[in-house]
Amino acid sequence: MRVDLYKRMESEGKFSYLAVPEGELIPEEVVNIDWQDVSRGIELGDSEANTAYAIAASEQQILEKGYAITAATPLQGRLPNA
């Protein structure tokens, strides 16, 4: 799936990531956070999203919510650096 990828700073130099379908706006329920542009129009599958960005079940999240986001609680200690 082609997505636009954003990140935000968390504690201890870790980042959370947000993936939205390519060309879509960041949904209103998460727009109040200062997201930084990481990459636009990249191909991102579930495996890479989970491994590189700690986004579990990215394709399912996008189908259900219109976006996929790093799940900080179940993945504590796994938030990516940089």
17-40 pLDDT per residue, tens: 999 999 999 988 888 778 999 999
Q: Over the range 19-41, which residues count as b (16 or more CB within 10 Å of their CB) and which as e? A: bbeeeeebeeebeeeebeeeeee
Query: Hey, which residues does 21 pair with through a beta bridge?
Result: 3
Smallest CA-to-CA distance from 20 within 76, 73, 77, 49 is with 49
Q: What is the pTM of this model?
A: 0.82
| Tens of pLDDT, residues 46-58 | 998 888 899 999 9
Angle at 41 between CA 24 and CA 32, to 5 degrees: 40
Q: How far is CA 44 from the centre of its chain?
A: 10
pLDDT tens figures, 34-44: 899 999 999 99
Mean per-residue pLDDT, 11-22: 90
